[in-house]
Structure 1
Amino acid sequence: MPFIDGYRHPFYYRSWRADHPRARVLLLHGFGENTGHYHRLAHALNAGGYDVFGPDHVGHGHTGGTPRGYFPSVAELAENAAILVDHIETDEPTLPVAIVGHSLGALAGAMLAISEPGKWTCLAMTGAPLWGLPAAAAGRTDLVMSRDEAYLDALANDPLGFDTGPAESNLWSAIGLAGSRIRCSLPALGLPVLLVNGEHDAFAPAPQAVDFAAELMSGRAVTIAGGYHDIPNDRAHAEVGRIIIDALDQSLHSVLA
């Protein structure tokens, strides 16, 4: 299985190849997930002409770590992602690269975009908790993350799944630090940024995403009616995929023009 040396320890990565790629997408999963939950989105991106690759974050999936779900910082996840990009680029360094991240992965992607400005064609963030843990969600165990039965079944029966509870305090502490930096730094970049949020997202409220997009030099926010936090794996996953691909296509056209 493909492991490469990361910032501290080796990490696992997965790739999905297009027949005739026009560009690449770095795909960064959310907390409690792994790359194995993103086949649908990755295949949609392949059909759009994008090679896709992404790591299992520290504490997640095949990368593992103890305790499960724990990671030192969002910046370290971004560093591993940067290492993966360098690794993938050895075979075709001229292909443009966009970043697509969900929730925790969205923040890691934004941290990477900030640390290496000018390298990426686009940053697409779904369910990005840029403002930390909302007071209304604190301590709740009854929140709906998705209504998509296939995704919920995959989570429930994933042999790489784990009880996220013990690692959640670390999660929100790390997200709070990263979110503050991203909100301050991202508006200074000219990078096209797409924010996609579910109407009922309990961790990344759609109205805040709309307001933040207005602060960006090239920002756009889309709210998915009836959607929840895990919006790329919710019932509207096909619509979300089309929205992301459209944003990537527009940014790629600008780069190649």
Structure 2
Amino acid sequence: MTEDSIEFNSRDGIRIQAWRWSPEGAPRGIVQVQHGLGEHGGRYRRFGEALAAAGYVVYAPDGRGSGRTAQGRYGHWGRDGWPGWVDDLLQLNHRIRQDHPGLPLALIGHSMGSFATQQFLLDHSREVEAAVLLGSTEVSGIVAMMTAPGPVDLSSLNQGFEHRTGFEWLSRDAAEVDRYCADPACGFVPEPFTGIETLARAADPAVLPGIRSDLPILILSGDADPIAGGGAALEVVAQRYRDAGVKDVELTLYPQARHELLNETNRDEVTARIVGFLDRTIGG
């Protein structure tokens, strides 16, 4: 396994940094990972290494306003704001296709990255061969939260959990929570996402049938993830895809698991589930 980085340009001129983990020998397929709000692609090293060991090459960008791409200006989204965040998935997709012509590609989005994935699939489902949503939810409430006056405040998500750092909602693994809190590129208060109202399209039953019917979609969540509504919100998302004609939609809820499944106490189980899905869909 090797680790390196690439750069690519957003449509509004941001130079985006992306981590890359590659297997020994020829890859079986490609995995594009989009991280969530208040974090960065470097946090996916363990996951990327596991996927590389399974034969996949993995690209994980530090999205706009995040990680190395932010150059210290965390939470500043650039001229194109949220529509730019979604389009960045397409720009990286194009770069990956240039690097690995002919290889199948799976898109994995966590949290805010999963919302971007939901929106991306409305117009670009033919650009990927499989999709995975982690730490996701039904997007109508997210639009309302992100368009409310004032800075985005995630502190309410920790209600109902022990309050040691304020980020216990992320994981039952205290060491992982501490690593998040100690990372200066995590937990920042972002500026408002201009254009976030366009995310509401991902809940529009008139638009969802634009997703190709043969796209395999895997949805994974902890039933204690506060944005998942005990899993009921993900049931809504899965059923919307099925009602729109998507034939291969799987939903798994992990008991007592919280928001960051890849940093949870059962992360090995989650990773194995994703690898199994990739093997079935793009690994042949």
Provide the C-alpha distance between the structure 2 equivalents of 1:112 and 1:173, rounded to a whole number of angstroms. Answer: 14
Q: Tell me how far apart the structure 1 counterparts of residues 236 and 92 of structure 2 sit (CA, whole Å).
A: 32
1:22 and 2:28 equivalent?
Answer: yes
Cα distance in 2, alignment partners of residues 103 and 92 from structure 1: 27
Compute the displacement of 1:43 (Å): 1.4
Task: Give, in whole Å, the separation in 2 of the partners of 1:67 and 1:85.
Answer: 25
Shift of 1:141: 6.0
Which stretches in structure 1 are left out of the alignment for 5+ residues?
none
- Cα distance 1:147–1:5, how it changes in 2: closer, same or farther (>3 A)? same
2: CA distance between counterparts of 1:42 and 1:151? 17
Q: Determine which of 263, 269, 280 is the counterpart of 1:239.
A: 269
Change (3 A) 1:149 1:208: same
Gaps spanning 5+ residues in structure 2: where? 146-152, 160-168
Q: Secondary structure at the match of 1:76?
A: helix
Q: Deviations over 1:62-91 (max 9, x none)?
A: 111786224354331121122122222223
Change (3 A) 1:222 1:139: same
SS in 1 for 2:48: helix
TM-score, reference length from structure 1 = 0.86
Does structure 1 residue 204 correspond to structure 2 residue 228? yes
Residue 48 of structure 1 deviates from its aligned partner by: 1.8
1:158 aligned to which of 183, 188, 195: 183
Larger of the two Rg values belongs to structure: 2
| Structure 2 residue aligned with 1:142 | 158
1:123-142, aligned counterparts within 5 Å? 123-133=131-141, 140=156, 142=158
- The TM-score, its normalising length taken from structure 2, stands at 0.78
Q: Do structure 1's residue 219 and structure 2's residue 224 form an aligned pair?
A: no
* Equivalent position to 1:61, from 55, 63, 67: 67
Residue 164 of structure 2 is matched in structure 1 by none
Partner SS for 2:179: helix
User: Per the alignment, in what secondary structure is the counterpart of residue 129 of structure 2?
Assistant: coil
Give the length in aligned residue pairs: 249
- Between 1:101-110 and 1:185-194, the stretch displaced more is 185-194
1:49 partner amino acid: G
